[in-house]
Amino acid sequence: MPSGKRTKAMKTETSDKLVVEGGPSDSTKKAQAAKDCGNESSRYWLMKSEPESRMEKGVDVKQFGIEDLKAQPKQTACWDGVRNYQARNFLRAMKVGEEAFFYHSNCKEPGIAGLMKIVKEAYPDHTQFEKGSPHYDPSSKKDNPKWSVVDVQFIRMTKRFIPLAELKVHHQAHKASGGPLENMALFTRQRLSVQPLTKGEFDFVLSLEDKKPS
C-alpha cells in the first residue's frame, strides 16, 4: 500500500462530493494529525510511490512514478491504494492548494523527484471495492468506506533529484547538533507513506536543489 497508486482511470470530472467520510473517532485522529505537524495553516506533505513495476501476489503490479503523473491528462492523478490508518488520516487532512513532495520509494535510488499539489480533497478510494485489485478490502462497506484518496497535480520536477542518502546525512547532522531535519518523519516514522512536513523541513529540502550533491 505504500504508494501504490496506479495510473488508472483518472476521473477528474467526477463530482463526488467532497464528503470526508470517516469513522467515529475521525475528528480525534484529525486533531492528532494536526498536532503532529505543528502549524495547521501551512501544511506540506511527502508522499511515497514506487516508480518501478514489481511482482505482488504473483501479479505484475503497475507502479507509479513522477513521470507517470506527468503523463496523465491534466497531469493529475488520484492517489489510491493507501492502506494504513495514519497515512489515510493525513490524506483526509489535506487541503486544496497544499504542496507535496513526490518521493520515489522501493527502487534503485530512493529520494525526492518533484513537487505536486493537492487539487481535490479526500473522497473514497474506488480500489477498495474492486475485487481483484491488489488494494481490494472486503471489510470496507460502501456506506462507510474505510479508505480515501486525494487528487494530486504535477507542479514540477525538482531541479535535481534529491536522494534519500543525502537527506539522511543532513538528518543525522541535525539530530546531533540541531537543524531543520532533526525530526523529519521520513526518518522518525519510517514506514509512513503519507507524511507531513513542517515549513522548516520543506524549505530546507528545497534549498538543497541549488546546492551541489553532497
Partner DNA sequence: GCCAACGTTGGC
Query: What whole-number distance in Å separates Cα of residue 63 and Cα of residue 55?
Result: 10
User: DSSP readout, 151-203?
Assistant: EEEEEEEEEEEEEHHHHHHHHHHHHHH--TTTT-HHHHSTT-SEEEE-HHHHH
Least Cβ distance, residue 109 to DNA (angstroms): 9
Nearer to DNA, 193 or 198 (CB): 193
Show the cell assigned to 10.
483518472
Q: What residues are paired with 47 via a beta bridge?
A: 102, 194
Helix ranges restricted to H, the chain = 26-36, 66-71, 85-93, 164-177, 185-188, 199-207
Least Cβ distance, residue 1 to DNA (angstroms): 3
Least Cβ distance, residue 165 to DNA (angstroms): 5
Least Cβ distance, residue 178 to DNA (angstroms): 22
Catalog residues that contact DNA under the rule CB under 7 A: 1-4, 48, 83-86, 105-107, 110, 164-165, 168, 189-193
Nearer to DNA, 8 or 12 (CB): 8
Nearer to DNA, 18 or 169 (CB): 169
Nearer to DNA, 17 or 108 (CB): 108
Whether 64 contacts 51, CB under 8 Å = yes
